[in-house]
Chain A
Amino acid sequence: MSTAQEEIAQGWQRTHRLAIAVAALRGVQQALIPLVLVTIGSGGFGGGVFLVVPILLAILSLGVGAAWLKWRRLRYRVGESDIKVEQGLISRHARSVPYERIQDVSLEQKPIPRLFGLVEVRFETGAGGKDELQLAYVSMEEGERLREVVRDQREGVALAGDPAAPEQGPAGEPRGELLFAMGPDRLLTFGLFSFSLVVIAVIAGAAQQFDVFLSFDPWDFSEWEDRLAGPGAWLAGLGWASRIVGGMILFLGLIVLGMVTGVVRTFLRDWDFRLEKTPKGFRRRRGLLTKTDVVMPAHRVQAVTVGTGLMRKLWGWHGLSFISLAQDAKSANHDVAPFAKMEEIAPIVREAGFALPADTTDWRRPSSKYRTDKALLGAIPLLLVGFVTFFLEPVVWLGPIILALAAFEVAHQYYLWLHERHAVDPRQVLSRRGWLVPRLEIADKVKLHSASITQGPLAKKRGYASLTFGLAGGTLSFDGLPLADAEAMRGQVLDSIAAVDFARLPR
């Protein structure tokens, strides 16, 4: 490795020194629970504190040492056409990512780095997960600078000729046009709809983990009986009415718990949610403890999805997300308006260059033969099993249930036939999917990559086929189309694809 001066002269840089402190602190944080356990375990003979202090010091110094070595051996360079990162203690790992391959740059602030004013920078290339290039941690200003550099490098020419030059905000960064924001009121409503009982699983897990601290074994049923037999004996003496009331209280308690969990989780994730349209793309900021700041260039949006939920549909709430190659919190979709009314979603969709279906949209539906076959394939085995159970004495009560399931399957397919549909307009392919929770997906025709029609043996006999488009970062598939429709649809899309070269896709 060259000397420090040479490195700087060549443009090599290091992450922020305080990253060492962050790494060390995280080591302590991870060691805290085992440490507490050790303290309690050794508490019996009074030497707990004398044991803990040296261990803590040892963990801290080891953590600092490792973090320092890691920091010392990592360097990056912002070059003319790419970003280079070299890292590794024993085996060196050098990576170079060209600017035009970077989908977007996201900044993330977890609670500890936030105390030090540091951010983690991630360059999204579409490689996915661990293969993404990331720098942990640099100062906030350096993160912003890196992002600017990447964007300017990639879009330099286009930006210079942009007549609508952005006005400069107070911080010197271009001020974006606010498209969507969620205040505390909206978050509260969103949280109430994000009912979740995950906390019960967490409590049960914790009970299992820490059952040494409980004075009894929570998993032993007879012990519960013993406990109830003493002070809890009055429970058994209660009448039916009070038991029903008790059950209802428990049920309501669960609902309240689920809603509170939903609200807390929503507040943590989506606090101060802001979506802005900047000249460089869509910028989304959110988070209470862990703050994230993601910019998605508008041309990288491959498709948009409008989803909803079972309950939120009734009140007209919908969620909008973008499909792109870059990953967002481990999912390929970027939430851009997770909880909004359609009239708020429409302008965002328009800004992304898509159009919501209009009244004139020519919706089509899969072949009725396809739905019939699906219903029969689902219902006939159930019917057979159901009739058999009528002649089996011990399970005769199962018969009506199974027959009801068969009827439900037929009704389900009929409902889907009524509601699932698709359309092709001059610019995009639209698909409306789903039963209780409908989902609308809109893909840009020229951003599709291939088209295939498949037919199984049954489909061949009955004259329908599946049509699947190659979409970067998602799937777009239509089952059970009449073959002629599928071929016509493929032809339409292919003609628009072939007319525009991939390299000249609107950037």
Chain B
Amino acid sequence: MSASLANEGLTPVDPAYVKVMRIEAVLASIPFVVGAIVLEVAGLLFTGAFLVPVVLLAMLLILMVPLRRYNARGYDMAEDRLRVVRGLLFRMDTVVPFSRVQHIDVLQGPLERAFGIGRLVLHTAGTHNASVMLPGLNYELASAMREDIRAHVKRETM
């Protein structure tokens, strides 16, 4: 057994999730780039003292990080439970048995809608981990998974 949580046997999420995370990173870095340009124009230090580090960091966050986060994420839909793995530095591996699901959400923001993906959220009655989120699923797939889980919950209760 390896010393850290591995992604073996996990299904990767939709590649469009990388694009969504990249666009989010672009949007988040715009204010900082603008700020750096303003400081450049003001000419406080030598040329590039602000712009170069900010742009490098932004490139890292836009190009590298989403891909690595995508690679770190995965899920496994078993017959009676869903396993969700995420995290680069801080790994988290959560399992929710369908029999403990209280209700299920499929969420979609405007950006996610443009790329046809959505987030599946399972709610349980536990105080810790009361809701477990799995983003970056193809929207149809997420809806289908919701139906599967719901059918499972229903069958178990009858």
- Interchain CA distance A474-B94 in the complex, whole Å: 18
- Interchain CA distance A223-B146 in the complex, whole Å: 74
- Residue of A325, A462, A470 most packed against chain B (CB within 10 A): A470
Is A290 among interface residues, defined by CB-CB distance under 8 A? no
Q: Considering the complex, give the chain B residue whose CB is closest to the CB of A451.
A: B95
Pairwise interchain contact B129-A468, C-beta atoms closer than 8 A: yes
Q: Considering the complex, give the chain A residue whose CB is closest to the CB of B130.
A: A470
Q: Contacts A500-B99, A501-B157 given: A449-B5 contact, CB under 8 Å?
A: no
Pairwise interchain contact A477-B4, C-beta atoms closer than 8 A: no
Pairwise interchain contact A454-B93, C-beta atoms closer than 8 A: yes
How many of B's residues come within 8 Å of A, CB to CB? 32
Is B91 among interface residues, defined by CB-CB distance under 8 A? yes
Known: A450-B97, A465-B5, A497-B99. 10 other contacts (CB 8 A): A449-B96, A449-B124, A452-B95, A454-B91, A470-B125, A471-B127, A475-B127, A483-B5, A503-B157, A504-B157
Q: Considering the complex, give the chain A residue whose CB is closest to the CB of B78.
A: A498
Is B1 among interface residues, defined by CB-CB distance under 8 A? yes
Pairwise interchain contact B100-A450, C-beta atoms closer than 8 A: yes
Pairwise interchain contact B1-A484, C-beta atoms closer than 8 A: yes
Q: Contacts A463-B4, A471-B128, A483-B3 given: A497-B92 contact, CB under 8 Å?
A: no
Cβ contacts B90-113/A at 8 Å (1 or 0 each): 111111111111100000000000
Pairwise interchain contact B125-A455, C-beta atoms closer than 8 A: no
Chain A residues, CB < 8 A from B124 = 449-450, 470
- Interchain CA distance A456-B128 in the complex, whole Å: 18
Q: Which of A453, A473, A490, A502 contacts B100 (CB 8 A)?
A: A502
Interchain residue pairs A-B with the least CB separation, the first 5: A470-B126, A463-B3, A449-B126, A452-B94, A501-B156
Pairwise interchain contact B156-A470, C-beta atoms closer than 8 A: no
Pairwise interchain contact B96-A450, C-beta atoms closer than 8 A: yes
Chain A residues, CB < 8 A from B19 = none
Is B132 among interface residues, defined by CB-CB distance under 8 A? yes
Pairwise interchain contact A460-B91, C-beta atoms closer than 8 A: yes
Is B140 among interface residues, defined by CB-CB distance under 8 A? no
Can you give 22 contacting A-B residue pairs, CB < 8 Å? A449-B126, A450-B94, A450-B95, A450-B96, A451-B94, A452-B92, A453-B92, A454-B92, A455-B90, A457-B89, A465-B5, A469-B126, A470-B127, A471-B126, A471-B127, A473-B127, A483-B1, A483-B3, A494-B97, A497-B97, A500-B99, A503-B156
Minimum Cβ distance to chain A for residue B75 (Å): 13
Chain B residues, CB < 8 A from A471 = 126-128
Pairwise interchain contact B99-A502, C-beta atoms closer than 8 A: yes
- Residue of A460, A494, A501 most packed against chain B (CB within 10 A): A501
Cβ contacts A452-496/B at 8 Å (1 or 0 each): 111111001111010011111111110000011001001000100
Q: Which of A325, A457, A461, A477 contacts B128 (CB 8 A)?
A: A477
Chain B residues, CB < 8 A from A450 = 94-97, 100, 124, 126, 128-129, 132
Minimum Cβ distance to chain A for residue B51 (Å): 31
Q: Which of B93, B99, B129 contacts A501 (CB 8 A)?
A: B99
Q: Contacts A470-B127, A494-B81 given: A453-B93 contact, CB under 8 Å?
A: yes
Pairwise interchain contact A456-B126, C-beta atoms closer than 8 A: no
B123-158: which have CB < 8 Å to A? 124-130, 132, 156-157
Is A448 among interface residues, defined by CB-CB distance under 8 A? yes
- Interchain CA distance A462-B89 in the complex, whole Å: 14
Minimum Cβ distance to chain A for residue B8 (Å): 12
- Interchain CA distance A73-B98 in the complex, whole Å: 44
- Interchain CA distance A461-B99 in the complex, whole Å: 34
Minimum Cβ distance to chain B for residue A96 (Å): 19
Q: Which of B3, B95, B125, B132 contacts A494 (CB 8 A)?
A: B95
- Interchain CA distance A308-B138 in the complex, whole Å: 52
Cβ contacts B48-63/A at 8 Å (1 or 0 each): 0000000000000000
- Interchain CA distance A325-B124 in the complex, whole Å: 13
Q: Contacts A477-B128, A483-B5, A504-B157 given: A497-B100 contact, CB under 8 Å?
A: yes
Chain A residues, CB < 8 A from B100 = 448-450, 470, 497, 502
Is B24 among interface residues, defined by CB-CB distance under 8 A? no
Q: Considering the complex, give the chain B residue whose CB is closest to the CB of A490.
A: B95
- Interchain CA distance A494-B76 in the complex, whole Å: 15
- Residue of A449, A494, A500 most packed against chain B (CB within 10 A): A449
Q: Considering the complex, give the chain B residue whose CB is closest to the CB of A499.
A: B99
- Residue of B4, B91, B100 most packed against chain A (CB within 10 A): B100
Q: Which of B5, B94, B125 contacts A502 (CB 8 A)?
A: B125
Pairwise interchain contact A455-B5, C-beta atoms closer than 8 A: yes
- Interchain CA distance A454-B157 in the complex, whole Å: 31
Chain A residues, CB < 8 A from B4 = 455, 460, 463, 483
- Interchain CA distance A448-B125 in the complex, whole Å: 9
Minimum Cβ distance to chain B for residue A419 (Å): 24
- Residue of B91, B127, B156 most packed against chain A (CB within 10 A): B127
